[in-house]
Amino acid sequence: LANAFIRGNLHSVKIGSLELLECYLLLDVTLQKRSKEAAFTYAIIAAGVAHAITAACTQGTLSGCGCDKEKQGFYNQEEGWKWGGCSADIRYGLSFSKVFIDAREIRQNARTLMNLHNNEVGRKVLEKSMRLECKCHGVSGSCTTKTCWTTLPKFRQLGYILKEKYNHAVHVEPVRASRNKRPTFLKVKKPYSYRKPMDTDLVYIEKSPNYCEADPMTGSMGTQGRICNKTAQQANGCDLMCCGRGYNTHQYSRVWQCNCKFLWCCYVKCNTCSERTEVYTCK
């Protein structure tokens, strides 16, 4: 689950190697912060647990759950379909995620409020992304009746939605009760405002560190040596990723056998093809 975040910060991951340990250490440092990146990570992990548990229930690999029993046999006369197949029991997955993920948030502080809020955002994104699939039944391909069931979205789709929410995450600050110093809720960080963030917004308390420069203390691996896109205007473009430092150009040649034909008898004749490519890395 953490790969969605780690992929953007490390050059490569080799299972069982020092790079994998580096990934875990980076994720651990990130989760300790109260930044937008931590908000995204908590949300996608909460959504991921709910997604994985719901999928396992649908596949019958967990003994304590199965298909959604409330979505069986009921006929929707207005829309002309009835429940059939195995609908994903999303409520079970969401409930499991809430108990499993939220259980560790026992401290009564601002970070706990932030984590619980972002966990719930991740689960809401999953719940709202559930899809309705249907199958037609009838003679000669007609659709006399339809059976429908709910199914999980692709996990990558959740990642895209949460990434967009990360881009528009809301800066908040804790509001403390008058009788003690424990925070009671989070509000949008604006002067003379006590407006709470929307329950669909990712929230963060601290601004993100400078990811242009390597700093193990903040979880930043820097962008030096990162492969970038020379023409892109997005985050993977050299102008943005290299933070104004410029980029190096590497030229590579690849040679391979192509246009192979079988000739009688009995050998294969191929042409030699070559390709010259350029790779750009941040200075």
Distances (CA, A) of 233 to 40, 139, 160, 230, 236: 23, 53, 18, 9, 8
Q: Which pLDDT tens digit goes with each residue over 127-155?
A: 999 999 988 887 777 777 888 999 999 99
Report yes or no on whether pTM surpasses 0.95: no
Question: Hey, how many other C-beta atoms are within 10 angstroms of the C-beta on 264?
Answer: 5
Q: What is the pLDDT of residue 2?
A: 36
Backbone angles phi, psi at 20, to 5 degrees: -65, -40
User: Where exactly does CATH 3.30.2460.20 map onto the chain?
Assistant: 223-283
Name which of 207, 39, 36 is nearest 116 in CA terms.
Answer: 39
Q: Which pLDDT tens digit goes with each residue over 44-97?
A: 999 999 999 999 999 999 888 999 988 887 777 777 788 888 999 999 999 999
Q: Domain spanning 223-283: which superfamily?
A: Wnt (Wingless and Int-1), C-terminal domain (3.30.2460.20)
Pair type for strands 170-176 and 183-188: antiparallel
Least confident of 32-36, 181-185, 250-254: 181-185
pLDDT-above-90 percentage for the chain: 47
Averaged pLDDT score across all residues of the chain: 84
What's the rounded Cα separation, in Å, for the pair 43 and 196?
18
What's the rounded Cα separation, in Å, for the pair 158 and 139?
38
